């Protein structure tokens, strides 16, 4: 698999438009498959609570911007398309900032500058350009929802590893006894890198194993699958 | 490049951008207006909870701000974040103490905190972190480590000795703060912010003490 | 905030390095660090964009505060950044078409580089004056440039090593970044606080 391709332009050729929701959730998971949106993935995941909050905030922005962009896709001239997308995305990020403040000040403080930084999250612009600009509103809505929840799922996976190993708790609930010596590295920056590397390795191993199984089970498709391996 | 006229459809471009900007502007203002009350309520609730922990038994609170010329004024609301002084009174109107806001640069970013201050004895009787981005597991223990917070039950803030953070385990005097082992930078920031604040605010408070005690 | 300029410089460049400690600019960090020659050119372009948009955002913020329109912060900052990147693109295209072709699609991607938006957000939150803003922008983006160059040098060295194809690419880059990040943690406490 070509992991060395530029991260912000992941291949979108294999997007099954029949179920955009599941596609975003699993098959083209923004973090584990497309390797997008790395900044918040590494920065916010030192606790599961922050990871889930960030995932949900990004989902809101994705749904909002995908839907709105899909609604106006036919009337935007191509020259100003990126500018319009960015305006819409920045608006939804401003809105979600107020919403998070209104729901919980402590979460807002914990996420800090990363809420306005959702604007710079590659995932949102990529989905806008690659999907919402071309597909109808309902499909775009589902795609936004799927990608967002897929992102939230990935963040939670990472957050779980980092919080359980690095602090001995999950969502603040202590899991081990008082004699547990937390592996502090995992809540520090290097731990974020390592945890993500391990998850990526796990996922790509799993996918390659599944592909091999499929190839073994259907010999007629072996030639095709070798092109993709 | 394409020789076709690229600047021809300028008007539709401007119209579209204009409409989208207008729409976005309306959405933002709408959200801000709808959530304003709720956000303010959240902030007040958080403040109130922290102040209550620093001045137990507080029933009434007056918020003071400091004018540029050094005078104390009563603030109608919660504005002037970071430079406020809260005066607490119990149910009978008796003066309980002051809670002073302060901040300084910690390891990762600014640490915002408050401390309970008794002007009569010039002592600090409590410390609470309001906001920080310190390293989880290390610097962020200035908020939760019970050993560290013990320091602040009684800190001598008189002019005789500046408040200073000392190495973990070497605290001998009541104006010293025992640092958290492994979180020196964050602990030092706490010492600095307290000393800075006392330096600046204690004289102003002393000048206005009568007025504060009467609740005016 | 009354932080000294020297402290801001050290902090943004080393202690709280944008890439290795605050996790900004990750997408480009992982994507462009394959070759040193591309990396340092990208790093310099980003430095230019961050410095220019940082200073412009400082003035924009003054305007917004004056008109009590702080809810427009995110939108105006991003517009400033997009405009700066566009200008940089045109400038590079005019002065060095070879560089323009080499950087290719990554130049417009600077707009979505978190590091660029982070600077205006931080200078607003920490209330920096113009001098502090300039030092912060230059040293922070310099830290980004240094980190990306370091990583590209390491990657070039191990490019021909015998590693399982599964681990090659992003996972390996992340592990290398982890080691670099651990090295940078050694700078903690440098300067002894403000």
Q: Are the C-beta atoms of residues C102 and C41 closer than 8 Å to each other?
A: yes
Selecting from B17, B35, B133 the residue whose C-beta is nearest the C-beta of A98 gives B35
Which chains does chain B touch, 3 or more C-beta pairs < 8 A? A, C
| Distance, CA of A104 to CA of A72 (rounded, Å) | 33
Q: Give the residue ranges of DSSP H helices in chain C.
A: 5-10, 26-32, 36-66, 73-95, 97-103, 114-125, 130-158, 170-185
Q: Assess whether pLDDT exceeds 70 at residue A3.
A: no
Report phi then psi at A171, rounded to 5: 60, 30
Beta partners for residue B113, in sequence order: B102, B129
Q: Which residue of C has its CA nearest to B32?
A: C71
Q: Please, which pLDDT band fits residue A158 given cuts at 50, 70 and 90? A: very high
| Domain extent at residue A61 | 19-173+181-228
A11 has pLDDT over 70: no
> Residue A7 domain-assigned?
no
Interchain CB distance below 8 Å, A8 and C111 = no
> Over the stretch A191-208, which tens digit does the pLDDT of each residue have?
889 999 999 888 888 888
CB-based contacts of B186: which residues, under 8 Å, 6+ apart? Answer: B106, B107, B111, B132, B134, B135, B138, B139, B140, B141, B142, B180
Q: Provide the 8-state DSSP code for B175.
A: T
The tally of domains found in chain A comes to 1
Task: Report yes or no: C90 at the B interface, CB cutoff 8 Å.
Answer: no
Residue A10 lies in a domain: no
Question: pLDDT tens digit string along B151-173?
Answer: 888 888 888 888 888 888 888 88
Range scoring the smallest mean pLDDT among A15-29, B78-92, C70-84? A15-29
**Whether A20 contacts A136, CB under 8 Å:** no
With beta carbons less than 8 A apart as the criterion, state whether B152 and B198 touch. Answer: no
Nearest CB among B27, B28, B136 relative to A46 is that of: B136
Q: Report how many Cβ contacts below 8 Å link chain A to chain B.
A: 70
Q: Report yes or no: B104 and B110 within 8 Å, Cβ to Cβ.
A: yes
Looking at the complex, report in whole angstroms how far the Cα of residue C26 sits from the nearest Cα belonging to chain A: 5
Mutate to test the interface with C, among A2, A8, A191, A206 (most CBs of C within 10 A): A8
Residue A18: pLDDT band (50, 70, 90) is low
Contact C171 A200 (CB under 8 A): yes
Residue at A212 is within a domain: yes
- pLDDT band of residue C55 (cuts 50, 70, 90) is very high
Which residues of C are less than 8 Å from A40 in CB distance? 23
- Contact between C193 and B188 using a beta-carbon 8 Å cutoff: yes
Q: For this complex, say whether ipTM is above 0.85.
A: no
**From residue B185, how far is each of A8, B111, B168, C12 by CA, in Å?**
37, 11, 12, 16
Report the distance separating Cα C93 and Cα A172, nearest Å. 52
Burial of B158 (0-12, 13-18, 19+ CB in 10 A): middle
CA geometry: angle at C133 spanning C130 and C139, to 5°? 140
Q: Give the list of residues 6+ apart from residue B170 with CB closer than 8 angstroms, or none.
A: B178
In tens, the pLDDT along B2-24 reads: 444 445 467 878 888 888 888 88
Q: What is the pTM of this model?
A: 0.83
Q: Where are the domains of chain C?
A: 5-185
The residue-averaged pLDDT of B107-128 equals 89
Q: What does the pLDDT read at residue A221? A: 57
Say how far apart CA C133 and CA C59 lie, in whole Å. 11
Q: Answer yes or no: is A101 within a domain.
A: yes
Q: Please compute the mean of the pLDDT values over residues A127-152 and round it to a whole number.
A: 90
Is A36 a member of any domain?
Answer: yes
């Amino acid at each position: 698999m070509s992991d060395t391709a530029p991260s912000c332009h992941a291949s979108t050729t294999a997007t099954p438009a029949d179920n955009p929701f599941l596609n975003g959730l699993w098959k083209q998971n923004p973090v584990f498959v497309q390797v997008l949106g790395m900044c918040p993935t590494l920065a916010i995941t030192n606790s599961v609570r922050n990871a889930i909050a960030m995932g949900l905030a990004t989902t809101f922005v994705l749904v909002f911007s995908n839907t709105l962009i899909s609604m106006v896709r036919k009337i935007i001239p191509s020259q100003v398309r990126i500018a319009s997308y960015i305006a819409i995305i920045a608006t939804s990020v401003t809105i979600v900032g107020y919403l998070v403040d209104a729901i919980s000040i402590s979460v807002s403080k914990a996420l800090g500058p990363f809420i306005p930084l959702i604007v710079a999250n590659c995932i949102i612009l990529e989905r806008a350009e690659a999907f919402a600009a071309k597909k109808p509103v309902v499909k775009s809505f589902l795609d936004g929802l799927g990608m967002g929840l897929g992102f939230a799922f990935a963040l939670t996976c990472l957050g779980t590893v980092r919080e359980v190993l690095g602090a001995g708790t999950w969502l603040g609930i202590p899991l081990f006894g008082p004699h547990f010596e937390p592996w502090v590295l995992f809540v520090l920056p290097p731990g974020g890198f390592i945890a993500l590397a391990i998850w990526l390795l796990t996922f790509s191993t799993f996918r390659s194993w599944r592909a091999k199984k499929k190839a073994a089970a259907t010999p007629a498709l072996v030639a095709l699958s070798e092109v993709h391996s | 490049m394409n020789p076709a006229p690229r600047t021809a459809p300028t008007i539709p471009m401007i119209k579209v951008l204009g409409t989208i900007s207008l729409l976005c502007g309306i959405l933002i203002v709408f959200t801000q207006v709808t959530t304003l009350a709720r956000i303010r309520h959240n902030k007040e609730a958080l403040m109130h909870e922290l102040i209550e922990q620093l001045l137990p038994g507080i029933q009434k609170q007056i918020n003071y701000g400091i004018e540029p010329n050094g005078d104390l004024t009563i603030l109608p609301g919660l504005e002037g974040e970071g430079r406020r002084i809260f005066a607490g009174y119990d149910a009978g109107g008796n003066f309980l103490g002051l809670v002073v806001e302060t901040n300084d640069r910690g390891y990762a970013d600014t640490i915002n905190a408050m401390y309970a201050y008794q002007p009569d004895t010039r002592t600090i009787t409590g410390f609470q972190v309001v906001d920080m981005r310190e390293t989880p597991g290390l610097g962020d223990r200035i908020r939760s480590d019970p050993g560290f917070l013990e320091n602040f039950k009684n800190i001598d803030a008189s002019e005789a000795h500046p408040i200073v953070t000392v190495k973990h385990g070497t605290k001998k005097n009541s104006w010293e703060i025992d640092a958290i082992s492994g979180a020196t930078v964050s602990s030092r920031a706490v010492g600095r912010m307290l000393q800075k604040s006392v330096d600046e605010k204690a004289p102003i408070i002393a000048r206005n003490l009568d007025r504060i005690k009467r609740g005016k | 905030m009354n932080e000294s300029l020297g402290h801001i410089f050290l902090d943004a460049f080393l202690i709280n390095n944008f890439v290795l400690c605050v996790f900004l600019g990750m997408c480009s960090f992982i994507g462009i660090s394959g070759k040193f020659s591309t990396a340092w050119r990208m790093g310099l372009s980003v430095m230019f964009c961050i410095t220019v948009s940082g200073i412009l955002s400082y003035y924009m913020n003054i305007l917004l505060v004056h008109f009590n329109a702080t809810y427009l912060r995110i939108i105006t900052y991003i517009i400033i950044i997009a405009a700066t990147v566009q200008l940089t693109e045109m400038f590079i295209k005019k002065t060095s078409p070879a560089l323009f072709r080499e950087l290719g699609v990554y130049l417009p991607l600077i707009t979505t580089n978190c590091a660029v938006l982070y600077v205006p957000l931080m200078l607003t939150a920490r209330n920096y004056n113009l001098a502090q803003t300039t030092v912060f922008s230059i040293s922070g983006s310099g830290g980004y440039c240094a980190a990306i160059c370091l990583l590209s040098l390491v990657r070039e060295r191990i490019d021909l090593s015998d590693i399982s194809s599964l681990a090659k690419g992003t996972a390996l880059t992340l592990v290398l970044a982890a080691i670099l990040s651990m090295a940078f943690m050694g700078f903690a406490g440098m300067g002894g606080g403000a």
